[in-house]
Amino acid sequence: MKTQSCISGLVCPKCQNRYDHREAHNLCSCGSPLLAEYDIRRAAAAAGPEAIKNRPASLWRYEEMLPVLDGANIVSLGEGWTPLIPLAAAGAKYGFGKLYMKDEGIIPTGTFKARGAAMGVSKAKELGIRHVAMPTNGNAGAAWAAYAARAGMEAHILMPEDAPLITRNEIVAAGAQVHLVRGLISDCGKILARSIPARGWYDVSTLKEPYRIEGKKTMGYEIAEQMGWQVPDVIAYPTGGGVGIIGIYKALTEMRDLGWIGEKLPRLVAVQAAGCAPIVEAWRKKAGTSEFFPNSRTIAFGINVPRALGDFLVLDALYRTNGYAVAVDDAEILKTIPELASLEGTFICPEGAAVFAGLKKLRAGNWLKAGETAVLLNTGAGIKYPDTLKFDLPYCPVDGTV
């Protein structure tokens, strides 16, 4: 059955070139990522907060503003509509007005990468694509392998040998073709670029296809809807490739144009690890693009991206919303995981912990004011990182008592 999708084309944010959404595209001829564009007037007439209220609890509830044209092409594992959890104890401890966590840890495959994979694979299916290929640090590969398997599509995944074993196992179990590389994700990307012409696979690397971002933007729609179409003062996000924060900004401007939210947008905060902070460095210099961050290192492997293809879009979103970019070191991240778990019962991923650590700094410096409302994104489940925390525990003798 046809969806209510109001997609009207693909547009280059750099040179404004337009492309047909009924054909498969990667980057613009100028090298920029492409963004999906919608007929806002038609979408606003077709749906609004009232109509959406009673729809299924998944990201597909925003179908007017999603790219899939035929519902038969939707490949779903029940992704989206994750909880927005108030963090009352953690908020009170650091003097936040209101603090919420959008918890992506319970989504299929355990990270928000499922949103991008669900949308990207569904649209690839609609376009008749049979083979998708990508480099990954782990979480994206796991999500795309799962959705490709469900779609009956071949996935070709290149990953560094030291990417987390759990994600490697997920990818192999899903039947994808895995190629291990003794190098970095950037090396994987180069191998893929060399192989694609002969293979004819569809390159679904971060931001090289336009629909992953359409899946990830639904986090922005959900936050607004879950807050009664009132946006918070601040939304903070762990920024690697930047798809999530670009997507949330895209969602906010779309909702504003649709009249679903007011004119005032939240200030967006990009949080990075101190060991890989190209966006933070660029933001400090008020630069429009970032520079390659050499020898990057962090336990938060999802945000270990030394240079993002969409850096200019991330920075633009920060500048336009009077946002901020902040770095936190791995020691702070490691401390924050058990802190939040013990205060709130939420065992989150290192990337999510980085966000809370970053927000604490912004609150301490009063950039985030006492009465303000902040939403932090936890992008994955702590249980996907079984070896990140190490606790030394005392033993009780078997014949002893406690």
Question: Which residues inside 131-160 make contact with ligand PLP, applying CB under 6 A?
Answer: 139-140
Residue with Cβ nearer Zn ion (316 or 329): 316
- DSSP assignment letter at 381: B
Nearest to 28 by CA among 1, 9, 5: 9
Q: How far is the CB of 240 from ligand PLP (least distance, A)?
A: 3
Contact residues for 273 (Cβ-Cβ < 8 A; gap 6+): 298, 299, 300, 303, 304, 327, 328, 329, 330, 333, 354
Residues 26-45 that bind Zn ion (CB under 5 A): 28, 30, 32
Of 218, 264, 212, nearest to 240 by C-alpha is 212
210 is a site residue for ligand PLP (CB under 6 A): no
Using CB under 6 A as the binding rule, whether residue 32 contacts ligand PLP is answered as no
Position 110 contacts ligand PLP (CB under 6 A): no
Cβ closest to Zn ion, residue 11 vs residue 88: 11
Grouping H, G, I as helix, E, B as strand and the rest as coil, residue 237 is strand
**Residue 340 binds which entry of Zn ion, ligand PLP, none, with Cβ cut-offs from 5 to 8 Å by kind?**
none
Residue 172, amino acid:
V
User: Using the rule CB under 6 A, which residue among 33, 108, 380, 382 binds ligand PLP?
Assistant: 380
* Among Zn ion, ligand PLP, none, residue 379 binds (CB under 5-8 Å by kind): ligand PLP
Of 155 and 349, CB closest to ligand PLP: 349
Q: How far is the CB of 152 from ligand PLP (least distance, A)?
A: 25
Closest-approach residue to ligand PLP (CB): 302
Contact criterion met (CB below 8 Å) for 107 and 45 = no
Return the exposure string of 390-402: e unless at least 16 CB atoms fall within 10 Å of the residue's CB, then b.
eeeeeeeeeeeee
Give the helix ranges, DSSP H, for 94-242.
Answer: 113-126, 139-151, 165-173, 185-199, 212-216, 218-226
Mutual angle of helices 139-151 and 165-173, in 10-degree steps: 10
Burial 241-256 (b: 16+ CB within 10 A, else e): bbbbbbbbbbbbebbb
Site for ligand PLP (CB under 6 A): which residue of 5, 111, 218, 336? 111
Answer yes or no whether residue 296 interacts with ligand PLP by CB under 6 A.
no
The least distance separating ligand PLP from the CB of residue 301, rounded to whole angstroms, comes to 8
CA torsion through residues 43, 76, 201, 213, sign: positive
Give least dist CB 69 to ligand PLP, A: 25
Asked whether position 223 contacts ligand PLP by CB under 6 A, the answer is no
When CB distances are held under 5 to 8 angstroms depending on the partner's kind, the choice from ligand PLP, Zn ion, none that residue 111 binds is ligand PLP
Interacting residue with ligand PLP among 241, 275, 278, 306 (CB under 6 A): 241
Binding site for ligand PLP (CB under 6 A): 111, 113, 139-140, 238-244, 302-303, 349, 351, 379-380
